[in-house]
Structure 1
């Protein structure tokens, strides 16, 4: 929905402070008064940011950063996020693998043994190669999710009156996934700290060990963390939709809330 002047009802740019038709000073939107963090940047043009500055700016200064992304959309940032997500998922495999322990012989003559992680045994290379091999499929899957999510989001934005190009939608959706990446990094530490170590010398115990890991309470904690990340994503989308599709803050809030609800619902249905 395009923002309109409260005096003459003419369509005005989303960041306008003066109506170009009747020249009246436009009032600050109600939502921006209630939540000052949603205020628009003062300058219509902002400094061009590098990809690294955008990745950090989305967290620290989302209003100005998304204005830059909306004016100069790029695909490098979303690609880096997909790549980092694939690396984090490979890290999950290694962290879970590190919780499998085996008994190794240190000195055959003395009969000295020790219990060590499978990542410290002579078969460790297989685990590292598996983690490495998982990166490419996870990158491809990440791109599929990004493109499909962008397509649905762009259609929704257009139906609700958005005026931005698909490249802008791709950029704002991609950069808005940073909270999910951050939460997964935190979850990586949580899994490493909470998941117990299992001795896997007896191959017959493997099914029960794997089942116990699958049923561990830590995964439910991570699900709640992911849900919180999706709420954060919805908050960031307010800035992105507003800047990329030239809408009012209120309408951007409504659309981003709908996107967040669909995202959370889909996530829990998949479980």
Structure 2
């Protein structure tokens, strides 16, 4: 059987799922109560270790160490959540040395690079990831955020990464806001009385939109609101941690992380 026949079945694009499900360890089983979609609909990031294992079985493993690389990614995520952004990048880069195949899947690294003002590298990371997962709304937005800091909002919008339809209404509206421009206050108002996660994401991305436009006070208002929301305070979502890290990096509050 050809190599592509073995590997390709795990590489087809899958519908978008919230980042909180992407945090699940690839070595743990996924409880049905936390997974609103059948297993075949999960992000391909969850299956990267399986792809690595298949490749290793065929090639003899080469010089890659996928299990150690995944452990380094987990360490990097934990460091980021604690506010050690620089340390998180060190771990993510170590993961790439251990297993270069992880490069196109390390969206966490792109987020950390943004907070270190390494915008060109961050944009590259997100573009690589979207090339592998063309349904990822948030990475398209984060690529825009990096490129807006490099080239300005208008230039970044001209090369905006178009992706598939997000299953979450709040992220569909956020995507349209960043892609086409608009009023971030409307985004927040439209989701202020919905689910707690919707209000959190609307507030977070409204604040990030304002930051891209250089309106720091508006950005502070909405991102601190996201942090202080019930979802921002209680959720294990990686993006809830990101909102707290954002406040820490901007010296808006020292008590969130």
TM class by smaller structure: under 0.3
Normalization by structure 2: what TM-score? Answer: 0.23
- Give the structure, 1 or 2, with the largest relative contact order (CA under 8 Å, sep 6 or more): 1
> Bigger radius of gyration, 1 or 2?
1
- The structure richer in helix per residue is 2
**TM-score for the superposition, normalised by structure 1:** 0.22
